[in-house]
C-alpha cells in the first residue's frame, strides 16, 4: 500500500510539473519587421486608449537603419516610404526630422512621438 501511495504521489508531482508555457521564441533585439496593431487616441485630456490600427510597418536593420512604409510620424498613411536611423542606447528613432522613443518588450514594440497630447503606436513582430 505504501508503494502505491508513493507511486501515486510521484506521478501527481510529475504531472503538475508539466511545462505548458508558450514556446514562441522572444527576441531581445529590435532588428526585424514590425506591423502596427494599435494607435493611442487621446482627446487631449489624458483619457485616451489604444485603438486597433493597421497599414503601417517598420523594418529595423542591423546597421541602425529603420524603414517605414509610410510617413514615420503621424499623418497620412498614403505618403511614400521613409527611412531614418535608430539608436538602441538611447532607444530613439529619427526619421525625416521626427523623433520618437521606443520600448521593446519581447515581440511587442511601443513607439511614442513628441505630441502635445499623448500619442503612441503599438507594433508586433512579424518575422
Is position 1 within any domain? no
More confident residue, 43 or 25: 43
The pLDDT assigned to 1 comes to 52
pTM to 2 decimal places? 0.73
What is residue 2's three-state secondary structure?
A: helix
With respect to residue 119, please indicate whether it lies within any of the assigned structural domains: yes
Residue 60: inside a domain, yes or no? yes
Q: What is the dihedral of CA 86, 116, 49, 74, to 10 degrees?
A: -50
Indicate if the pLDDT at residue 98 is higher than 90: no
Question: How far is Cα 112 from Cα 101, in angstroms, rounded to an integer?
Answer: 5
Does 15 score more than 60 pLDDT? no
Is the pLDDT higher at 122 or at 70?
A: 122
Q: What domain range includes position 116? A: 32-125
- pLDDT beyond 50 at 10: no
Number of domains present in the structure of the chain: 1
- On whether residue 76 sits in a domain, the answer given is yes
Look up residue 96 and give its DSSP letter: T
Domain presence at residue 113 = yes
State the pLDDT confidence band at 75, using cuts at 50, 70 and 90.
low
Section 99-111 average pLDDT = 94
73 near 58, Cβ under 8 Å? no
Q: How far apart are CA 58 and CA 38, in angstroms?
A: 14
Q: Is position 112 within any domain?
A: yes
Q: What residues contact residue 124 under an 8 Å CB cut-off, 6+ apart?
A: 34, 35, 37, 107, 108, 109
User: Is residue 90's pLDDT more than 80?
Assistant: yes
* 103, pLDDT greater than 70: yes
C-alpha cell at 2: 505504501
Query: What mean pLDDT do residues 25-41 have?
Result: 87
Helix (H) or strand (E) run with residue 108 in it = strand 108-113
Amino acid at each position: 500500500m505504501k508503494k502505491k501511495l508513493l507511486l501515486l504521489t510521484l506521478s501527481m508531482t510529475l504531472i503538475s510539473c508539466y511545462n505548458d508555457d508558450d514556446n514562441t521564441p522572444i527576441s531581445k533585439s529590435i532588428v526585424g519587421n514590425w506591423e502596427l496593431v494599435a494607435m493611442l487616441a487621446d482627446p487631449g485630456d489624458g483619457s485616451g486608449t489604444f485603438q486597433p490600427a493597421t497599414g503601417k510597418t517598420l523594418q529595423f536593420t542591423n546597421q541602425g537603419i529603420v524603414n517605414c512604409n509610410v510617413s514615420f510620424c503621424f499623418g497620412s498613411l498614403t505618403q511614400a516610404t521613409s527611412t531614418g536611423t535608430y539608436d538602441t542606447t538611447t532607444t530613439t528613432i529619427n526619421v525625416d526630422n521626427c523623433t520618437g522613443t521606443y520600448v521593446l518588450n519581447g515581440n511587442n514594440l511601443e513607439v511614442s512621438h513628441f505630441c502635445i497630447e499623448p500619442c503612441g503606436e503599438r507594433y508586433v513582430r512579424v518575422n
